[in-house]
Chain A
Amino acid sequence: MAEILLHLTTVSSQLQALDDTSDERYDTELRDLIAYIKQFNRNIDSQYLLDNLSPSQHTLSYLIILNLHIETLQNQTKNRVPDEIKPGNDLWAKAVYFLRSFDPIQVRYAGHEWRQLVELIGQSAEAVAKPFLAVQVIREALLRLDSSGVLTSVHITFLRLSLISRSYSHALPILEKEMFRFPTSSGQAYRKHIERPLCSEDTLGDTFISDASGFSAKLTYRDHTSFFLYGAMIYMALKYWDKALHLLTIVISSPVNDSVSKIMVESYKKWVLASLLGHGKLVAPPKIISPHVLKVYQTLSKPYASLADAFERSDFQRLRADIDFGRSVWRADNNEGLVCQLFRAYNTFLVLKLGRTFSALTTADVARRTFTSLASSANVEEFVASLVMSETLGATLVHLHPHGSATMLRFSAPTKLVFNKEISMRNRLIEGGRALRFIANDVDQCSSELKLGNENLQLLSRNQRWSDTSGKGGGDSVGEADGGLDIEEDIMGDAT
């Protein structure tokens, strides 16, 4: 066993850094190591090896042996989640320690095993009804892996666990990373000509997370929409309405063939509520949604349309009646919590609207004009003061007499509002700029990859044959637009 351990520890991330081993050599060493471990039989003393390997330095060996150990236990107990891997037990501690300290370079060679372990951690935590335990671990593992904008099935599992454990803010570090790629297709012929070794520092997530790497299960249309819906639900729980609307917009404007999916309809219902809660009205639906799809949404969510209409028309009686009448609908759609928040939002937007007409009002006037459930002037003052003090409402309050309850609400001067708006716009612009810079870095690469993709190469090949036989000199427009990108003949050969 000591001999095996010696062999397993020869490949170490620390030694690699010290020796400054070339990427190609390190790549070969790691691949040889995998081949060596894979020939072990299942009776190997994995416990001894796990106790003597370092998860951070011998990540690859540790991960594969740990999976072997778990697999043996699963076979022995005939249980997918044996007790030893459940929270609080030794194997759980080992797995958690590994996921918090693995070497993100070495782990690229064992994507399948990494995902198996992460999924098992999720299942174990769920099995003891403590999903929160998995949330922190998976978040750290995902951040350590750094998927560089690539969506994986682990992201979806992570958001689902965050939702069921109500650890919404714990999901933000993952959710706030721009997600704009699927795992790359390993079937693209050009890849083998441009790929660097997996262990290279220059190899990013968009390269090492491919559909064959094992870091993600096969993603379906449903997974894609689920990710954004879960994300939106997390933002809604935290009352980040604009962010929630952005993610819901992605779902409801997803491409459709004949009919919309249930998840899209659910998202549309939440989109209506988030619009009302965040903006006090239905925001304009994205233009990308075709009119017939929009009509389907509206037909399938009539109670929500009625609710929105009452809200927008400031018809409190109807709003209250609609909310009461549709209680079973909101409950069935899991939207009861959001609908309950409409009352306060209604009162808030009513007071905000007054600011567009008046420059100042007494709180008694506010009470008279709003006709809300806020009965007395004192209640109104308390409510308005809470809006002003929380900066929801740009206004100031003035007590008029030392005794009594007369209070004046003075809405902020338009110049001050414009100034505040400008600051907010400027911040949004900068935020958008950061996202744009991030995505722009990737646009050129995506463009090149599309040009080098099998489909485009086949098209070029067909065009080439056509131009040869017709005797006309057809220029390579893709090559020209590419700015000197050279497409070699042997790549064309591989594409067939």
Chain B
Amino acid sequence: MDLPPLSREQLAAVVASAQSPTELYSTLSEYESEACLLSTSDATQAELLSLYYSTFFFSHLLTDQICEARLSTKRMPQDLLQNDPSLQNCLNLLRAVWQRKYEQVYTILRALPWSEPLKPIVQSYDAHFQEKTLKELSRAYEAIRPAAAATYLGLDPASVEQGDPATMQKFIACGWTWEEETGLLHPKPIIEAPQDDTKLYNELSEVMALVGSRRV
């Protein structure tokens, strides 16, 4: 309630100052009630709403809340959603992300027209989606055709087929290895930090002590 009123300038400031996608999402969620009170019949307010809901939509995607992103599209004014080009792009993107249509995701992000204020967050999501996919590929594939990997990561499959060294170098930079005899790439799983076993053990001990101390 102490937030400055919602405006195009304030939105730009929120996007620019957010330290992390989580912070961006959290700040934008607080504006949802205020957005609810704006009218879509007023052209200026409709424009602001389009920018707000599009940015809010991307903040969901940047925090990997795909299900919640879908629900946010159900909460926004439906007439605006149906008629606004940016929100229509968001809907198409949501469908592609939901169905894991990788090629489509990159096409929507890179080829569809996005308004100037949205471009930075669209580019952020492009990078985020690529990085997330890279982690998933590294875990899921033991061996992968370079062209398939390029499609997943939004790179040019044709240039990879022709053995473009620059693209291959990108894979190798991720720790992947290239086996020339088979013509396949071998991804290296990105191992995430294991959980703290001591903490888990202590918590389990506490549970057992609690169970043991209760009389039946």
Contact = CB atoms under 8 A, between A and B. Distances in A.
A385 B32 CA distance: 36
A145 to B, nearest CB: 18
A307 B125 CA distance: 40
Given A132-B32, A430-B200, A397 B211 contact: no
Interface in B199-216: 200, 203-204, 206-207, 210-211, 214
A96 B37 CA distance: 14
A167 B71 contact: yes
Contacts, number: 99
Interface residues of A, number: 44
Interface in B1-22: 1
Interface stretch (B40-48, B111-119, B137-145): B137-145
Given A433-B207, A436-B211, A166 B145 contact: no
Interface in B177-216: 182-184, 195, 200, 203-204, 206-207, 210-211, 214
Contacts of B183: 401-403
A388 B140 CA distance: 6
Chain A residues touching B, majority SS? helix
B131 interface: no
A336 to B, nearest CB: 16
Contacts of B32: 132, 136
A430 B71 CA distance: 31
Contacts of B143: 398-400
Interface in A229-269: 237-239
A158 B141 CA distance: 45
B100 interface: yes
B33 A136 contact: yes
B68 interface: yes
Contact of A88 (B37, B136, B140): B37
Interface in B46-96: 65, 67-68, 71, 74-75
Interface string A380-399: 00100110111100001111
Contacts of B127: none
B211 to A, nearest CB: 7
A399 B151 CA distance: 14
B148 interface: yes
Contact of A133 (B1, B33, B145): B33
Contacts of B200: 426, 430
A165 B183 CA distance: 53
A289 interface: no
Nearest to A395: B140
B36 interface: yes
A450 to B, nearest CB: 16
Contact of B137 (A389, A403, A430, A436): A389
B71 A168 contact: yes
Nearest to A382: B100
Contacts of B137: 389
Contact of B141 (A87, A132, A397): A397
Contacts of B210: 433, 436-437, 440
Contact of A385 (B67, B140, B146, B211): B140
A121 to B, nearest CB: 12
Nearest to B187: A396
A398 B142 contact: yes
Interface in A387-441: 388-391, 396-403, 410, 423, 426, 429-430, 432-433, 436-437, 440
Given A87-B37, A433-B206, A396 B211 contact: no
A433 B205 CA distance: 10
Contacts of B140: 385, 388-389, 396-397
Given A389-B137, A433-B204, A97 B184 contact: no
A144 interface: no
A426 B204 CA distance: 8
Contacts of A398: 141-143
Contacts of B184: 399, 401-402
A399 B148 contact: yes
Contact of A167 (B37, B75, B203, B207): B75
Given A426-B200, A433-B210, A437-B210, A389 B68 contact: no
A130 interface: yes
B36 A133 contact: yes
Given A169-B71, A389-B137, A401-B145, 8 more contacts: A166-B75, A382-B100, A389-B140, A397-B140, A398-B143, A399-B143, A402-B183, A433-B203
- A-B CB proximity, top 9 nearest: A402-B183, A433-B207, A389-B136, A388-B140, A386-B100, A398-B142, A389-B140, A399-B145, A398-B143
30 contacts: A87-B36, A88-B37, A97-B1, A132-B33, A132-B75, A133-B36, A136-B32, A166-B71, A168-B71, A385-B140, A389-B100, A389-B133, A390-B136, A391-B139, A397-B142, A398-B142, A399-B144, A401-B145, A401-B183, A402-B146, A402-B183, A403-B183, A426-B200, A429-B204, A429-B207, A430-B200, A430-B203, A437-B206, A437-B210, A440-B210
Interface of B: 1, 32-33, 36-37, 65, 67-68, 71, 74-75, 100, 133, 136-137, 139-146, 148, 182-184, 195, 200, 203-204, 206-207, 210-211, 214
